[in-house]
Amino acid sequence: MIKIPKHTAQKNRKNGFSITEAAVTTAIIATLGSVAYPNYIASQERARCSETKATLTSIPPIISAYIDATGEAPTTWNDLSSIAAVMTNNGPATGDLDAPITLPRTNYELSVEGPSESTYLLTANCFVKTPVSDPADREEQELKEAAFHKIRSCFNVSNGASDLTSGSGTDPANTPNCG
């Protein structure tokens, strides 16, 4: 029997991972990431949508409070800011109510229509950017995406009724009912 000295056996031992072990570990991490990333993105979009819905539900009481305080309908964001500020990325909203504002921390642009027969209609359109191969199809694609990510709310000043609807991502938002 041949004896190998201890110092020679220790020199043949390898340190680190083999290429196979590294490849398998990388594949496992990539698979987990490919499953987790879409859920992460979807949860961020749900959070933005929830924040937009909260903003849309906070505006009718501000409109009502302004009408109660002044006896007339608000026409500008500045009118509403005299009661409570509606925030944008650049601070409190300013300008006419029919001029759209971009809500903070979201991809939504809010516009207010009305009052028409004592009803205000609030619409938040989402800016979702999807790559389009043909530039001629870009506008059509953006309109389609905006319809499916739209959040609509209404508020009837005369009876206090309000409603909120939103697109599901696959179906467009229905018209809210504030009759």
Report pLDDT digits (tens) over 18-66.
Answer: 999 999 999 999 999 888 888 888 788 778 888 888 888 889 999 999 9
Whether residue 98 has pLDDT greater than 70 = yes
Q: Which one is predicted more confidently, 93 or 105?
A: 93
User: Looking at residue 70, what is its pLDDT?
Assistant: 93
Confidence at residue 165, expressed as pLDDT on a 0 to 100 scale:
87
Return the percentage of the chain with pLDDT > 70, whole number: 77
On average, the pLDDT of the chain sits at 80
Distance CA(105)–CA(129), nearest Å, equals 16
At 138, the amino acid letter reads R
- Closest C-alpha among 168, 171, 172 to residue 42: 168
pLDDT of residue 24: 94
**Which distant-in-sequence residues (6+ apart) come within 8 Å of 112 by Cβ?**
59, 97, 98, 120, 121, 122
How high is the pLDDT of residue 133? 55
The per-residue pLDDT for 105 is: 78
pLDDT at 135: 62
Reported as a single tens digit per residue, the pLDDT across 131-167 is 555 666 656 655 555 455 788 888 998 888 888 888 7
Please provide the distance, in angstroms rounded to a whole number, between the alpha carbons at the two ends of the chain: 99
The residues with which 96 forms a beta bridge, in sequence order, are 76
To the question of pTM greater than 0.75 for the whole model, the response is no
